[in-house]
Amino acid sequence: MTSLKSVLLQATVLLTLGSLASSARAGDVKGKVTASGLRSPENIAVYIDSIPGKTFPPPAQQAAMDQHHLAFVPHVLVVLKGTTVDFKNEDPVGHNVYWPAINHNRKLAHNMGTWPQGISKPFTFNDLGDVPLLCNVHPEMSGYIIVVPTPYFALTDKDGSFTIKDVPPGKYTLKTWSEQAKPVTQAVTVGAGAATVNLTVKR
């Protein structure tokens, strides 16, 4: 009898925990960005802004910014604050990587130097904001790293669509960054299902 009660109690606990987990299940933030006055809605960063009382450890795996065919690849890379980015040179020529500022703060400018094909150099980004990447050897090259405060971010595709996955239920502020458009903010509430958001950015 005691054994039966124990089994029933365990089953009840598991059902209760399952119910609680279901009610707190993460959802996705899906949407589309319309770009007014821009050539394309692609490569616009969409992310959830700082969450009061929440901090996020940086990922153990490094992100990668390649230099390939005389271009930064990807053109825009979004990373969580504290992420280490590995800068690779895949071209048969020397490349230089530097940024004149982070979030328009010139005191955070940095030059990583110049290195040949097959070599990579890491850098850890602990300051929030946009990092415009340039190359002293090839002035036509440009790219961006966007350092954000939460791991909930996405980049728009060619038609402006985006999906931010696995966002815990709650109320948040959604922000955008674009190479050419002004940033916009919008409130979003995330439940167990998908939240749909439509944003418009302007030059």
Residue 177 token pair: 């960054």
The topology (CATH level 3) of 57-148 is Immunoglobulin-like (2.60.40)
In contact, 31 and 154? CB cutoff 8 Å: no
Give dist(CA 126, CA 121) in Å, integer.
16
Strand stretches in the chain, DSSP E: 27-36, 45-48, 63-67, 72-73, 76-80, 84-89, 95-99, 110-115, 120-124, 129-134, 142-148, 153-155, 161-167, 170-177, 185-190, 195-202
**Per-residue pLDDT in tens (0 to 9) along the chain, 203 residues:** 445 444 334 533 333 334 334 335 778 999 999 988 888 899 999 999 999 999 999 999 999 999 889 999 999 999 999 999 999 998 888 888 999 999 999 999 999 999 898 899 999 999 999 999 999 888 899 999 999 999 999 999 999 999 999 999 999 999 999 999 999 999 999 987 788 999 999 98
Fold (topology level) of 23-55+154-203: Immunoglobulin-like (2.60.40)
Give CA separation, 184 vs 44, 79, 200, in Å: 11, 19, 8
Domain positions in the chain are 23-55+154-203, 57-148
Q: Which tokens hold the place of 123?
A: 């850098």
60: Cβ contacts below 8 Å, ≥ 6 apart:
none
d(CA 167, CA 148): 15
Q: Which amino acid appears at position 195 of this protein?
A: A
Question: Structure pTM?
Answer: 0.84
